[in-house]
Amino acid sequence: MSDEVVVDYSLKMKKEYSNENLFVAGYCTEVICYIPTRIELDEGGYEPVSSLIYYGLPGPFANNVEEKIVTAIHHVMKHVGAKPSKK
């Protein structure tokens, strides 16, 4: 994943795809800004809310940013043939 992605995404995907040898890496290809989760957006603070101005972005992400990223990850995992672990 590009940008500075919080560890919560890695932990969540490793749990959902525990049968896969999954490695989640951030800072790949570009670093535009910090990518928060919904909880971090709700908590506020410098990284999830204020830091975007230093990247020339209007700031902060919409509350559904985490949902959109997780949906995209599921799409990529399906495309490569990975299946979520049984719950």
> 7-16 and 65-79 are packed helices; what angle lies between their axes, rounded to 10 degrees?
40
DSSP single-letter state for residue 48: I
> What pLDDT score was predicted for residue 87?
65
State pLDDT tens for residues 12-64.
999 999 999 888 887 887 777 888 999 999 998 888 888 888 888 887 889 99
The pTM for the full model equals: 0.82
Beta-strand runs (E) in 1-87 = 4-5, 34-35
Residue 83, number of CB atoms within 10 A of its CB: 10
β partners of residue 4: 34
24 Cβ partners below 8 Å, 6+ apart?
1, 5, 9, 10, 13, 14
Which structure tokens are listed for 50? 């204020």
